[in-house]
Amino acid sequence: MNEIKTKQQYDRKEEVPSLDFRIINWVGIIDQLTSTKMRQLLDGSDVPPPQFVLLNHFSHRPEEGKTVSGVADAMQQPQPGITKTIAKMLAKGFLRAEENPEDGRSKTLYLTKAGKTAHAAAKARLEEGMQHTFDGWREWEKKDFFAFLDRLKIYLDDHREDRLS
Amino acid sequence: MNEIKTKQQYDRKEEVPSLDFRIINWVGIIDQLTSTKMRQLLDGSDVPPPQFVLLNHFSHRPEEGKTVSGVADAMQQPQPGITKTIAKMLAKGFLRAEENPEDGRSKTLYLTKAGKTAHAAAKARLEEGMQHTFDGWREWEKKDFFAFLDRLKIYLDDHREDRLS
DNA sequence: TTGTTTTATATTCTTAGGAATGTAAAATAA
DNA sequence: TTATTTTACATTCCTAAGAATATAAAACAA
């Protein structure tokens, strides 16, 4: 991305994208592939992928209540989408909402027993289906890989200008 | 993903996902962030992200014609979505379709001059907007990072069962 | 206190993606 | 040759995600 290319180079028959570009591109492809896999693995369960992602989030420190906008921010997604997913999860009883007596606008969301159960079942399916993904990887390789991902994520996170609602 | 956890461990207050899971998860977050950035950078241009991705593909060996299903396969996306995106690109003149005299079912798609121009403009916007993403990275780090991504991608690619249409 | 701004969430609209299915041409089988 | 299957692409329907906006409560300012 930060290479300056001459017109000459652009005109080559086969254009080779920069490493920067390819990294971003590969991340997109991997996300595509894992999302597809995840959808297949969760197919037929009562937890579609968007809800699994939220269940995942709620499982992290489950005793703490979360707000819609808090979840939206953590998920780095626009609030309206989160509202809709949460509405479905409330309807299914995976979450429960508590009115906030201090502030009539907001409500606090908690994972229910049913939500925990659904999450565990979905997670088991995914773990089962993806257990061989990193076969052959050394532990340090996974750590190094994750460190690269984290470094990139932190940069992108720090430099995004949306700061969702 | 391939760690076997005891019930005991699952019941801890704060559940720490395995490294495998976190890698997949981080990829998803990075894709989310870069997609958002890309959408913002291309906003107002005549090339929305899905079309940019295809223009990118067509720019690679532009002299070779491509078929709808060939593109769908390369993009690892279902064919109907590709058909729709290509229809828009044909309408805008970014692509041109040639009948195949040998086979009345298929058609061959080529990038037009207008398509090349649109692609170059969109690419310049993206490069401009993302040029600092890898500031501070050594070349070997990017190479190592890409190698990890590629290794994971190859595994996922080899083990997907969809084999789109 | 009244008017304005900010904050939390909900609703609506549009586009994109995926699943299922349809159509028509080509390949294959009987 | 005729029937069946396969292949390439198109269409339809549904869910999801993003943009814009609405509503309503709280905080703040005059």
Q: Which of these ranges, A102-111, B2-11, B56-65, B138-147, has the smallest mean pLDDT? A: B2-11
The pLDDT, as a whole number, for residue A61 is 87
Using CA coordinates, name the residue in chain B closest to A139. Answer: B19
How would residue B15 be classed by pLDDT, with cut points 50, 70 and 90? low
How would residue B162 be classed by pLDDT, with cut points 50, 70 and 90? low
Task: Report the pLDDT averaged over residues A127-151.
Answer: 97
Question: Using a CB-CB distance cutoff of 8 angstroms, which residues of chain A are in contact with residue B132?
Answer: 2, 159
Output the average pLDDT for chain A. 87
Q: Which of B36, B145, B70, B82 is nearest to A30 (CA)?
A: B145
Interface test with A, best of B123, B148, B151 (most A CBs within 10 A): B148
What's at A95, amino acid-wise?
A: L
Q: Which of these ranges, A13-27, A129-143, B68-82, B112-126, has the smallest mean pLDDT? A: A13-27
pLDDT at A46 over 50: yes
DSSP A66: B
Question: Using a CB-CB distance cutoff of 8 angstroms, which residues of chain B are in contact with residue A157?
Answer: 33
Tell me the helices (H) and strands (E) count for chain B, helix number first. Answer: 7, 2
Contacts of residue B97, defined as CB under 8 A and 6 or more positions apart, other chains included, come to: B90, B107, B108, B109, B110
Tell me the helices (H) and strands (E) count for chain A, helix number first. Answer: 7, 2
From A14, A20, A143, residue closest to B19, measured CB to CB? A143
pLDDT at A6 over 70: no
pLDDT at A104 over 60: yes
* Two tokens, residue A66: 């979360």
- Residue by residue, DSSP assigns B12-76 as SSS----HHHHHHHHHHHHHHHHHHHHHHHHTTSS--HHHHHHHHHHHSSTTS-B-HHHHHHHHT
Task: Report the pLDDT averaged over residues A133-137.
Answer: 97
For residue range B96-155, list pLDDT tens digits in order: 999 888 898 999 999 999 999 999 999 999 999 999 999 999 999 999 999 999 999 999
Task: Report the pLDDT averaged over residues A41-68.
Answer: 93
Instruction: Note the CA–C1' distance, A109 to C14, in angstroms.
Output: 30
The domain limits of chain B are: 37-125
How far apart (Å, rounded) are the C-alpha atoms in residues B154 and B150? 6
The pLDDT, as a whole number, for residue B11 is 46
pLDDT at A74 over 60: yes
Instruction: Note the CA–C1' distance, A107 to C9, in angstroms.
Output: 9
The pLDDT, as a whole number, for residue B76 is 82
B88 to chain A nearest CA, in Å? 22
Using CA coordinates, name the residue in chain A closest to B127. Answer: A1
The pLDDT, as a whole number, for residue A57 is 92
How far apart (Å, rounded) are the C-alpha atoms in residues A130 and B140? 29
A157 to chain B nearest CA, in Å? 7
Task: Report the pLDDT averaged over residues A112-131.
Answer: 94
For residue range B47-98, list pLDDT tens digits in order: 999 999 999 999 988 888 999 999 998 888 899 999 999 999 999 999 999 9
Q: Which of these ranges, A12-16, A31-35, A145-149, B114-118, has the smallest mean pLDDT? A: A12-16
Instruction: Note the CA–C1' distance, A122 to C14, in angstroms.
Output: 32
Query: A17 or A124: which carries more pLDDT confidence?
Result: A124
How far apart (Å, rounded) are the C-alpha atoms in residues B7 and B4? 10
3-state SS string for chain A: CCCCCCHHHHCCCCCCCCHHHHHHHHHHHHHHHHHHHHHHHHCCCCCCHHHHHHHHHHHCCCCCCECHHHHHHHHCCCHHHHHHHHHHHHHHCCEEEEECCCCCCCEEEEECHHHHHHHHHHHHHHHHHHCCCCCCCCHHHHHHHHHHHHHHHHHHHHCCCCCCC
Domain spanning A37-125 has what CATH number? 1.10.10.10
% of chain A beyond a pLDDT of 90: 72
Question: Using a CB-CB distance cutoff of 8 angstroms, which residues of chain B are in contact with residue A145?
Answer: 23, 145, 148, 152
Q: Classify A97 as helix, strand or coil.
A: strand
How far apart (Å, rounded) are the C-alpha atoms in residues B61 and B49? 20
- Name the pTM for this structure: 0.86
